Amino acid sequence: MFKTLGFNSSQSLFLRIIFLSAALVFIALAYNPLNNFYADVFTSLRIQLLFLALVCGLLLLALKLYKIGGGVLLICVIGLAPLLFSFSSPSSTDGRVLTVKQINLNYNNKDIETHLSILLQQKWDIVILQEFSDKNRNLLSRFLTTTDMFGYEEVEGIPYGIVVISRIPMVYKHQIKLDADRLGYLKIKFLFDDKLLTAFVAHPPSPRSKQHWQNRNTLLAALNTAAHEEQNPWIIAGDLNTVPWSSYFNWSDSKTCFDKSRYVSFMPFEKGRSTLTGLPIDHCIMSEKISLHRLEVNDFKGSDHKMLSYDLTIN
């Protein structure tokens, strides 16, 4: 391939060094063991970095570095496989099913009224809305006669931009404040099938700066502590602004939506949306007493996130 482009032996050697060095840098960044801000950002881009390393491996094969190129490809395939493919087995449904929908709407979404009208007609038990603006509070009135709600009557405004709508009884509602009204999460208990279910709903700051990153980590740690101290079956739901393989995602031993089916939920680019241009940062996490039976991840007009819809049963 490269001979047909007119490269001589010294140029081919230079390209081999460049592509091999690039592949090693991409792999090192994808699996770096550091816990600082920049290291965590690179770790979040593991899929993208491994794909770039894979391209370098293919170019090394084209340059006739077969063993080295093959080794790079093998490392990339081994690294990408568990991030792109789920090997979970289908689970049987015993008992009453709880259906949950969650979406980061985007504060600037112009289609919220249409979406709420559609949701009103759909089948679900709990809907979790994030980045819901106070300016759209009046749009929630259509749910008042048929649901319980957290976020509609709060005098201070919609807490953290989160609204929870439920067709099953809410028996406990509490806003947990870690830093006044700037940082915290919602703790809600539902009565479902004569059992109590605790939900922790949160939307940590996007790690756009070191301070936001630290605040995100503080909130994630608080959620982890609260969940492990909870006696009832529990779920954690929301746009957590972290990927499942981050060292700050503290639920590797818990059941998650990402374990059920691999997906990307945050798509920052309007065009060219794919696994390589997105990140799985919207999550549902649950205790051992809960089983996850179905997961759908669908586009949501006006938002750069996708909607997660899933079915749960309490064991």
Neighbouring residues of 146: CB distance < 8 A, sequence distance ≥ 6 = 167
Strand partners, 74: none
Topology classification of domain 98-314: Deoxyribonuclease I; Chain A (3.60.10)
Which 3 state secondary structure label does DSSP give 313? strand
Sheet with 255-256, edge to edge strand ranges = 170-179, 183-192, 195-201, 234-239, 282-286, 255-256
Residue of 164, 120, 94 lying closest to 312 (CA atoms): 94
Report residue 125 as tokens: 């038990």
Strand partners, 309: 101, 296
Q: How confident is the model at residue 206 (pLDDT cuts 50, 70, 90)?
A: very high
Asked if 263 and 244 count as a contact pair (C-beta separation under 8 A), the reply is no
Distance CA 289, CA 14 (A): 57
| Distance (Å) of CA 260 to CA 33, 90, 230, 272 | 26, 9, 23, 25
Please state, rounded to an integer, the average pLDDT across all residues of the chain: 92
User: Residue with structure tokens 């709407």?
Assistant: 105
Mean pLDDT, range 83-95, rounded to an integer: 76
Distance CA 171, CA 148 (A): 10
Residue of 57, 59, 52 lying closest to 30 (CA atoms): 52
Digit-coded pLDDT (tens) for 108-121:
999 999 999 999 99
Distance CA 309, CA 315 (A): 20
Mean pLDDT, range 281-287, rounded to an integer: 97
Distance CA 111, CA 99 (A): 23
Distance CA 303, CA 164 (A): 18
Distance CA 10, CA 42 (A): 33
Asked if 151 and 128 count as a contact pair (C-beta separation under 8 A), the reply is no
Distance CA 24, CA 177 (A): 43
Digit-coded pLDDT (tens) for 5-61:
556 678 888 999 999 999 999 999 999 999 899 999 999 999 999 999 999 999 999
Give the per-residue pLDDT at 1: 53
Give the per-residue pLDDT at 315: 87
Domain range annotation of the chain: 9-84, 98-314
